[in-house]
């Protein structure tokens, strides 16, 4: 029985020895996993690059969206004061027009009737004015009664009001009243551009009848482009005038453009719970088109701190790492994987909170995607 206990005890000692031997090899395996070796040829072939910690700008932002627009006074809807049939439409969408340029021509027999009425009233006015002057003279000399004088005055002034009203109506129709008084009656009227700009809508064609309520075409002056942004109710208290805006037009360009907050709305849309924010665009030389959708960041607060390019960071699960040059032997680079503590992030950079640990270190800032795949698989170059 004693021999059995001795045998069992010996087996336990052997097992413990084997376990200790395994523990001793673990640190070597971990060191192998945490280190990578690459050759100079691989470094150049993958277009890798080393860099160091640097100072970057990190912004507190409010993300919003909206559209490219113009102020109301830079947009004009062309209508007519009196209905008619379109006889001439020389312009197309996209055409640039100058203020006073011919847009469309309309025709309507009613135009002739208005001019005839004006001409008749103008001729009658001359007689009534003479009669009024005669009656006034007679009344002043006490030759005629006050009744006759007041009647002549009433008829004359009533006719004068009718005359002035028709004259204004002709002017609104872009017809010259002096030409009408000389007997030159036109069967058409012209509509002219009220401002400089581009044609953005044409709602008619030759032969179309338009009434005073119809929009014939639309002109937009794009010399003063602005942003019309929508900000959620929870963020609006952070937005102030003159704050910087960075925006992109995702469907048209990868470039980032700049603007600034000019006006902050004072009412909330009951349906969307958003507030309108008006932004002035710094670069109005770009080929912006009214109605373009934009993604924008309103910068609430900006600060500088130590960081790295986003490309340098390796993300594994919820943790982040960088590869640091440990030593170089000939054509070989020995890299060490160092864990990062990350603060703010932007599209191009990350804030490094444990910067003292990486101070003056050579960090692989470009071309580490291939190394990441191999390191996760337990391989080294």
Task: Compute the average pLDDT of residues 297-326.
Answer: 87
Taking phi over 0 as left and psi of -120 to 50 as alpha, with beta for the rest, 114 belongs to: alpha
What are the DSSP calls for 155-213, one per residue?
A: HHHHHHHHHHHHHHHHHHTT--HHHHHTT---SEEEEE-SSSEEEEEE---TT-EE-TT
**What is the model's pLDDT at position 34?**
57
**Cα dihedral sign for 260, 262, 266, 267?**
negative
Matching residue, tokens 């704050």: 243
**Predicted local confidence at residue 377, as pLDDT:** 44
Q: Is the pLDDT of residue 374 over 60?
A: no
Handedness of CA 363, 364, 369, 372 (dihedral sign): negative
Average the pLDDT over 296-316 and give the result.
87
Q: Does the structure show a pLDDT above 90 at 335? A: no
Write the pLDDT tens digit of every residue in 94-117. Answer: 899 999 999 999 999 999 999 999
* Residues 171, 44: Cα–Cα separation, whole Å: 78
**Six token digits for residue 284:** 């109005």
pLDDT for residue 191:
94
Neighbours of 149 (CB within 10 A): 18
Tokens for 166, please give them: 């028709």
Q: What burial letters (b/e) apply to 259-295, b meaning 16+ CB within 10 Å?
A: bbbeebbeeeeeeeebbbbbbbbeeeeeebebebebe
Tens-place pLDDT, residues 62-80: 999 999 998 888 899 999 9
Do the Cβ atoms of 103 and 215 come closer than 8 Å? no
Answer positive or negative: Cα dihedral of 144, 150, 153, 156: negative
Predicted confidence at residue 370, as pLDDT, reads 65
Token pair for residue 151?
């009647």
Q: Does the structure show a pLDDT above 60 at 380?
A: no
Contacts of 166 (CB under 8 A, 6+ apart): 114, 117, 118, 121
> What's the pLDDT tens digit per position in 144-162?
787 887 888 888 889 999 9
Mean pLDDT for 185-202 is 93
Q: Which stretches within the chain are classed as H helix?
A: 2-34, 40-45, 109-140, 146-172, 177-181, 369-376
Residues 349, 308 contacting (CB under 8 angstroms)? yes
* pLDDT > 90 fraction of the chain, expressed in percent and rounded: 40
- What separation in angstroms does the CA of 8 have from each of 3, 4, 14? 9, 6, 10
Structure confidence by residue, pLDDT tens digits, 22-39? 333 333 333 344 578 888
**Does 3 have pLDDT greater than 80?**
no
Mean pLDDT estimate for the chain: 83
- Categorize the per-residue pLDDT at 297 as very low, low, confident or very high, splitting at 50, 70 and 90: very high
Domains of the chain with bracketed CATH: 35-70+225-381 (2.40.30.170), 73-220 (2.40.50.100)
Find out whether 108 and 173 touch, Cβ atoms under 8 Å. no
Instruction: Count each helix (H run) and each strand (E run) in the chain, helices first.
Output: 6, 22
Indicate the pTM of the whole model. Answer: 0.61
Label residue 42 by pLDDT band (50, 70, 90).
confident
Give the pLDDT confidence score for residue 319 in this predicted structure. Answer: 87
């Amino acid at each position: 029985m004693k021999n059995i206990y001795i045998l069992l005890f010996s087996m336990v000692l052997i097992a413990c020895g084997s376990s200790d031997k395994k523990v001793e090899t673990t640190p070597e395996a971990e060191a192998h996993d945490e280190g990578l070796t690459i050759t100079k040829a691989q470094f150049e072939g993958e277009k890798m690059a080393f860099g160091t910690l640097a100072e970057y700008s990190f912004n507190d932002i409010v993300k919003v969206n909206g559209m490219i627009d113009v102020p109301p006074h830079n947009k004009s809807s062309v209508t007519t004061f009196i209905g008619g049939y379109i006889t001439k439409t020389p312009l197309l969408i996209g055409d640039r027009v100058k203020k006073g340029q011919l847009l469309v021509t309309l025709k309507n027999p009613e135009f002739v009737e208005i001019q005839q009425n004006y001409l008749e009233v103008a001729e009658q006015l001359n007689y009534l004015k003479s009669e009024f002057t005669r009656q006034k003279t007679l009344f002043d000399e006490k030759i005629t009664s006050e009744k006759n004088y007041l009647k002549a005055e009433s008829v004359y002034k009533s006719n004068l009001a009718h005359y002035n009203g028709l004259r204004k109506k002709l002017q609104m129709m872009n017809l010259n009243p002096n030409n009408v008084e000389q007997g030159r009656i036109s069967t058409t009227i012209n509509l002219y551009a009220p401002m400089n700009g581009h044609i953005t809508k044409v709602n008619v064609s030759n032969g179309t009848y338009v009434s005073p309520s119809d929009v014939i075409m639309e002109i937009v002056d794009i010399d003063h482009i602005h942003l019309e942004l929508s900000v959620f109710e929870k963020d609006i208290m952070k937005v102030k005038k003159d704050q910087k805006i960075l925006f992109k037009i995702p469907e048209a360009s990868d470039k980032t453009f700049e603007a600034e907050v000019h006006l902050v709305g004072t009412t909330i849309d009951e349906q969307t719970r958003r507030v309108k924010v008006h932004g002035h665009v710094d670069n109005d030389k770009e080929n912006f088109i009214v109605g373009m959708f934009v993604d924008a960041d309103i910068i609430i607060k900006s600060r500088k701190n130590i960081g790295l390019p986003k490309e340098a960071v390796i993300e594994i699960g919820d943790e982040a790492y960088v590869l640091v040059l440990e030593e170089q032997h000939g054509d070989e680079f020995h890299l060490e994987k160092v864990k990062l503590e990350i603060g703010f992030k932007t599209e191009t950079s990350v804030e490094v909170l444990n910067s003292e640990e990486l101070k003056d270190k050579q960090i692989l800032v470009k071309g580490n995607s291939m190394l990441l795949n191999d390191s996760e698989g337990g391989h080294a170059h």
